[in-house]
Amino acid sequence: MHHHINTHLFIIPKNHQENLRHYTLKPKKKGMKPPPTSSSSSTSNLIRKARLSPYLFTLLAFTLFVTILYGQDLGCILGQFDLDVAPDRLPPTPKKHYKKLPFSIAEKESSCDIFRGKWVWDPLNRPLYQESECPYIQPQLTCQEHGRPDRDYQFWRWQPDGCSLPSFNASLMLETLRNKRMMFVGDSLNRGQYVSMVCLVHSLIPDEAKSMETFGSLTVFTAKDYNATIEFYWAPFLMESNSDDAVIHRVSDRVVRRGSINKHGKHWKGVDIMVFNTYLWWMTGLKFKILQGSFDDEVKDIAEVSTEDAYRMGLKSMIRWVRKNMDRKKTRVFFTSMSPSHQKSIDWGAEPNGNCYNQTEMIADPNYWGSDCRKSIMEVIGDVFKKSTFPITFLNITQLSLYRKDAHTSIYKKQWSPLTPEQIANPVSYADCVHWCLPGLQDTWNELLFAKLFYP
């Protein structure tokens, strides 16, 4: 309990400030005789002082009383009077202790920016698993199975400037998730990161002790012996929208309902480690439609706002939900930044009318920034997050992913519908330059998540 002392009680009359100098604390000089220890002697001296200065006696008696009552250090109280107190008599300044975030095993906060660095060729340690060994990868991401002729995109490792990423430890990850839930919430890019995480840990679990099931918008991987789940929840805007069907969601005229995050949020309660993403689905143009009422209303009240304002509304809703439903002492929340696409070859200085199709090398320019990544959206993220009272770990994967025009699924994936002769004649027209092959880039995203979870 903190007790507050009214300092106005300690105002010293000017005519008694001279007497107070007798009680200024000074270091003891060498050879100086110790003060008399006789109680009678000290008592008589105190009485004589009191006769000279009744104000001073009252002051000292009150100070002694407060010191005993409140447990305050005498030096601290005297310090309120700006007395000449010897430095070696003052209490030591308490050291600031590193306050660990939940799940952290680091002894101190990392000073290294793990999102700034370069890609290095490392065929000895990459990939972290084989495509054929992970049965959970959706056919939209299995590039080797669908005929991709090269594998170079699998052999790159992210190397931060000035430090190294800790190796992904699947055993530590599973032990940490024992009796817990980890959930990825967002769009298909977050689903790719979710599947990557499952692929990174599943080989330690016997076949009979693991399962993956889908219940509408929710997909759950269960590690039975650990009583742990790694989950994905489809919510491309986080809030209720007309694109919420996990299978049929290709809607050109996208609408999000204001104040509706609990529609999905009720399925997220009780999660211990949460990983959000939302970006690509908001990028429909300069304006975005916001529903004021309900999707059930016969006449819908729809307002158009700037994409930045709509996105800000979504992030603020997410943070409000986190603040109300997550325990900062026991849980962690991550937010993955925008995943870039490589739709315009002119962005990286190549011939126009191309895209990621047939790209097998990454972009070498360290300052490259594609036209599809809106810096205004990054500014919104920074502005909203810096005002959050709940600690949210930002996984800034945008710049390191911008270099990787070689890592997209391109044409090497299961197609949603049969290709036309015109498409077959022009592969650029149907190349997927949004999603990423697995194993591949998104395994690095999870290495970064692992590093920030255990060594923030």
Task: Give strand ranges (E) for 193-316.
Answer: 210-215, 218-223, 228-234, 255-257, 273-276, 287-291, 302-306
Q: Which residues contact 225 (CB under 8 A, 6 or more apart)?
A: 205, 206, 209
Starting at the edge strand found earlier in the chain, the sheet holding 228-234 runs 210-215, 218-223, 228-234, 181-186, 273-276, 332-336, 392-395
> Of 201, 236, 197, 229, whose CA–CA distance to 214 is shortest?
229
> Residue 313 in contact with residue 304, Cβ under 8 Å?
no
CA distances from 101 to 191, 273, 392, 454 (A): 26, 12, 11, 9
Torsion angle, CA of 145/151/154/159, rounded to 10 degrees? -170
DSSP category for residue 179: T
CA distance 398 to 116: 11
440 and 153 Cβ atoms separated by less than 8 Å: yes
Say if residue 403 is exposed, middle or buried (CB neighbours under 10 Å; 0-12, 13-18, 19+): buried
Give the residue carrying structure tokens 């109280």: 77
- Taken as a whole, the chain contains a residue count of 456
Nearest CA to 83 out of 29, 20, 14 is that of: 20
Q: Residue 324: name the closest of 256, 228, 388 by CA.
A: 388
Tokens matching residue 262:
């609990």
Cα separation, 311 vs 316, in Å, equals 9
Residue 176 φ then ψ, to 5°? -65, -35
Active site residue ranges? 188, 432, 435
Long-range contacts of 202-207 (CB under 8 A, 24+ apart): 202/134, 202/136, 203/129, 203/133, 203/170, 204/170, 204/171, 204/174, 205/174
What residue type is assigned to position 329 of the chain?
K
